[in-house]
Amino acid sequence: MADWGPVVIAVVLFLLLTPGLLFQIPGRSRIVEFGSMETNWISILVHAILYFALITVFLVAIGVHINTG
């Protein structure tokens, strides 16, 4: 049996937290900008910290598992 939980969580979080795709924290002119398709190094750092925190919560603290087979 393969455990697909970490793979699915990582891909979903990566897609949701890509800076500038859905939202960007901090934005160029506002704190949060939606769909700007632009980024800067500060927003990359903020989104990386959010990604690390959320993936740690989902995989280590909660222990999400999706078993196949």
| Confidence at 57, pLDDT banded by 50, 70, 90 | very high
Q: Please give the pLDDT value at position 68.
A: 83
Residue ranges of the domains in the chain?
Answer: 2-68
In the predicted structure, residue 55 carries a pLDDT above the cut 90: yes
In which residue are the tokens 């990386």 written? 48
Q: Are 68 and 19 in contact, with CB atoms under 8 Å apart?
A: no
Q: Are 15 and 47 in contact, with CB atoms under 8 Å apart?
A: no
> Is pLDDT larger for residue 15 or for residue 68?
15
Q: Please give the pLDDT value at position 28.
A: 85
Q: Please give the pLDDT value at position 15.
A: 93
Closest CA to 22 of 39, 13, 11, 35: 35
